[in-house]
Amino acid sequence: MRQLGVSAALIAFAAGSFTSTTVDALTTVRQDAGATTTLEVIGPVDAGESQVEVVTETEEVSLPHGTVTESDPSAMKGEEKVVTQGEAGTSLVSYEVTYVNGEEVSRVETVSVVVDQPVDEVVSVGTLVVPVATSNPTGNRAIGKELAESMYGWTDGQWQCLEALWTRESGWSHTAHNSSSGAHGIPQALPGSKMASAGADWYSNPATQIKWGLGYVKNRYGSPCNAWGHFTSVGWY
């Protein structure tokens, strides 16, 4: 209040004459573009023919939210999805505003207080790249392609993910065996004896191994592409 009165006096002095007039302080509220503005009138000053008024105005200001991106190895490369909706924040800003004959001549920000912090929008961006599948697969790949479609309807892109996954794991060899870990077969079940749930011939029958592997992928990841995305991200599935 003391500083605002001094500002008014200086403006009146610059206008050429100064007469102090005491007026009770008053507060008014006006609506401007959807935001409530509070006006605290400090008091008018009679400066000859000029009427100078210094007021404090407080406005609610919207604070825009930011955007954060995160990688999603289970989604196709470039595919975007909003994970968290962004929310704008709000702040209250006070200004010392000077009017001469009803027209604003200066506005100085004095106080700014954040009421609600903005919430960033989070967008996931897919990074999954699916290798091109082998044309006219033969041998164990052909068995895998047929079983993937008949058991779970996995064709096209899902088949490409499955072929890539087990190419990296075993090269689709039903005799592939890791002597260090004990992982065995086309899906590299660890230990290999897990595949006995799909058939007693799990050690040497590629179809038995594939059936078990397809069930594992379905139950653990939901789809071959989800499993492939996990594999490319951490190196195992």
Separation in Å, CA 162 to CA 5, 19, 64, 72, 125: 78, 89, 43, 18, 22
Instruction: Tell me what the mean pLDDT of segment 134-162 comes to.
Output: 93
Whether residue 105 has pLDDT greater than 80: yes
Query: What's the CA gap between 49 and 10, in Å, rounded?
Result: 16
Residues 6+ apart with CB under 8 A from 51: 44, 45, 100, 101, 102
Check: CB of residue 119 under 8 Å from CB of residue 86: yes
pLDDT of residue 233: 87
- Percent share of the chain, pLDDT over 70: 80
CB 127 within 8 A of CB 77: yes
3-class secondary structure, 89: strand
Residue 177: its pLDDT value, please?
Answer: 96
Q: Once rounded to an integer, what is the mean pLDDT over residues 137-158? A: 95
Residue 44 has pLDDT above 70, yes or no: no
pLDDT of residue 120: 97
217 vs 3 pLDDT, higher one: 217
Q: What is the pLDDT of residues 167-219, one digit of tens each?
A: 999 999 999 999 999 999 999 999 999 999 999 999 999 999 999 999 999 99
Q: What is the pLDDT of residue 137?
A: 86
Q: Which of 59, 58, 52 is nearest to 7 (CA)?
A: 52
Whether residue 229 is predicted with pLDDT greater than 50 in this model: the reply is yes
pLDDT tens column, 69-96 = 999 887 888 889 999 999 999 999 999 9
Which pLDDT score is estimated for 46?
52
The token pair that represents 149 in the structure block: 């479609």
pLDDT at position 196 is: 97
Does pLDDT of 22 surpass 50?
A: no
Which has the higher per-residue pLDDT, 25 or 145?
145
Residues of the chain with pLDDT > 90: what percent?
68
Residue 95 amino acid letter: Y
**Residue 18 reports pLDDT greater than 50:** no
Mean pLDDT of all residues in 39-50? 57
Round to whole Å and give the CA distance between 124 and 69.
Answer: 6
Residue 103's CB is within 10 A of a number of other CB atoms, namely 7
pTM of the model: 0.56
At residue 39, does pLDDT exceed 50? no
